[in-house]
Amino acid sequence: MTNCPICNGTIERTIKLIEYKYKGHTRNIKQVGDYCIKCGESFLTPKDLKSTQKEIVNFKREIDHLLTTEELKRIRKKSHLTQEEASNIFGGGVRAFHKYENAEINQSKPLDILFRLIDLKKITVDDIKQVSI
The domain that holds 85 is classified in CATH as: 1.10.260.40
User: Is residue 21 assigned to a domain?
Assistant: yes
Expressed as residue numbers, the domain containing 34 is 11-52
Residues 33, 85: one domain?
no
pLDDT digits (tens, 9 = 90+) for 57-73: 999 999 999 999 999 99
Does the residue 43 lie in any domain?
Answer: yes
Query: Average pLDDT of 3-21?
Result: 96
Q: Which amino acid is at 42?
A: S
- pLDDT reported for residue 51: 94
* DSSP state, residue 14: E
Q: Mind listing the pLDDT tens digit for each residue in 23-47?
A: 999 999 999 999 999 999 999 999 9
Q: If we measure between CA atoms, which residue out of 62, 71, 65 comes closest to residue 100?
A: 71
Distances (CA, A) of 71 to 24, 104, 131: 24, 15, 25
Between CA 112 and CA 10 the distance in angstroms is: 46
> Is residue 25 in some structural domain?
yes
| Residues 86 and 47 both lie in one domain | no
Number of domains in the chain: 2
**32 is a domain residue:** yes
Count of helices and strands (H, E) across the chain: 6, 3
